Structure 1
């Protein structure tokens, strides 16, 4: 398995923190691939910060 070519980020959400790779930011959603290779679609309104 290879590491994605985007930086690893810590994403603070209203439900807690997610660590993963932001693959895209679409209209109202943030698509994230976690370190465990789980694909998440987070509503933009739930994302508090990204670093």
Structure 2
């Protein structure tokens, strides 16, 4: 795997974890639930990227 792709996947995971943490802390607000959703999508993005690179 190319180091650039590895760094991209790592940054997506880090941003996803941060957004999940922020969204979970503010889950009583509507925007907190949206941040949780975006964080979840960012956590799944490296899987999609890995499958795309494998194919």
| TM-score by shorter chain over 0.5 | no
Which has the larger strand fraction?
1
- Normalising by the residue count of structure 2, what TM-score does the alignment of the two structures yield? 0.22
- Normalising by the residue count of structure 1, what TM-score does the alignment of the two structures yield? 0.23
Which has the larger helix fraction?
2
Larger Cα-atom Rg: 2
